[in-house]
Amino acid sequence: MTSPIKAEDSGSAAVLDPELAATTENAVAKGEKQPEGRSPGQLMWQRFKRDRTGVVSACVVIFFFVVAACAPLIAKLYGKNPYTLYAQEPDYPFLLDDFAMPTGSFGGMSGDFWFGVEPKLGRDVFTMLLYGMRTSLYMAVVVTTLCVVTGVVIGMVMGYFGGRVDYWMGRVTDFFLAFPQQLFFIAFMPVVTAMFVSPADETPTYLRAVAIILVMWFLGWMGLARLVRSSVLSLADREFVEAAKVSGASPWRIVRKEILPNIVTPILVQATYILPSTILTIAFLSFIGVGFVEPTPDWGRMFAVGADVYEQDPMFMFFPGVALVTFVLAFNLLGDSVRDAFDPKTGR
């Protein structure tokens, strides 16, 4: 391209530009290879596409989300819902035997009930699973979003302002980290529900959902806040941030335009780990009986029933189990692949 001598010859900077443009055009016309500019995002996408495990797990995860979103449609086509006690319907007289266990092999699997029927109550397992997936995923997405946003905001504030703000918010973060998480969830679920509804009344499902979200949000943001804080700290002294400061950019602009784009990667990777763990925590709460209750379809509740009747009807556990393991496995592998694609230096 243009050598410094040539540039000097050309005299002023104003003339330099068109000449430079001309030489570049020349080079292109001659067929010389130009280094192709790629954004980090494009590079990441290219690396990700080559990772077969990552692509397959991404497909599985997307499949789960699509199925959950279309649950009512699928249930309509299939012709059942997760609430009806089919054993009491006149259409299906021999669904459960005298011990209230499904008649027929494999937990009562048949053309009418693809995944079998629930022992004791005789509900349809397939639609329970579909709607349970819907409950888990919706909740997990909400909780993850809230935790990520809170964590990013708090971490940014700590890292960017530093000093006393950083110190005291850091202490608050440490304090919340010292809570025994699961015990906290168990202990605070009734308190949070009691804030909205009198204990004598029945708690509506949506309030239970709100309570679960609040409780999990409350103790879910600290890890991410710490991560964001340390990333911001390492970026705050870099030249481009200083340049922005010198040029008079407002803190809001620096945070939004200079720092945030540089820490999207670790945030995204962290979020892919938070989501499945949220699903597991919600399942945990419902399993031990403080999360969702009858008749809300939920995975954790299905496991509670499944563990209860495992001796008589092991098949009931099978489909929810396979679904949960597949989903968590796919999501964990996806998280690993995303991390590898963003940052090829760290090995597994």
Partner 1 sequence: MLQFLIRRLIGAVVIMFLIGAFTFFLFYTVPQDFAALSCGKNCSPENLAVIRENLGLDKPITTQFWEFMSGIVAGRDFPQGHCSAPCLGVSFDSGNFVWDSIVDRFPLTLSLTVGGLVIFLTLGLGSGLLAAWKRGTVIDKLVSGASIVLSSFQIYLLGPIVLGILVYSTGIMENPKYHPFTENPATWALGLLIPWAVMATIFTAQYTRMSRSTMIEQLQEEHVRTARAKGMSQRFVFFRYAWRGSLIPIVTILGIDLSALLGGAVVTEFTFDLPGLGRLAVDSSLTKDLPLTMGIMLFGAFFILILNIIVDLAYAYIDPRVRLS
Residues in touch with partner 1 (CB under 8 A): 175, 178-184, 186-191, 194-195, 198-200, 280, 283-284, 287-290, 303-304, 306-307, 310-311, 314, 317, 321, 324-325, 328-329, 332-333, 347-348
Distance CA 213, CA 35 (A): 49
Closest CB 295 distance from partner 1, rounded Å: 18
CA distances from 191 to 131, 139, 196, 206 (A): 27, 20, 9, 16
Nearer to partner 1, 72 or 190 (CB): 190
Nearer to partner 1, 16 or 186 (CB): 186
Closest CB 126 distance from partner 1, rounded Å: 19
Closest CB 111 distance from partner 1, rounded Å: 27
Nearer to partner 1, 131 or 287 (CB): 287
Nearer to partner 1, 193 or 241 (CB): 193
Query: Hey, what's the torsion of the CAs at 200, 204, 206, 210, to 10 degrees?
Result: 10
Nearer to partner 1, 126 or 273 (CB): 273
Closest CB 167 distance from partner 1, rounded Å: 15
Do the beta carbons of residue 74 and residue 130 sit within 8 Å? yes
Crossing angle of helices 205-218 and 125-161, in 10° steps, is 40
Q: Where are the alpha helices (DSSP H) in 96-162?
A: 105-108, 125-161
Report the SS3 class of residue 100: coil
Closest CB 176 distance from partner 1, rounded Å: 9
Question: CA end-to-end span of the chain, whole Å?
Answer: 42
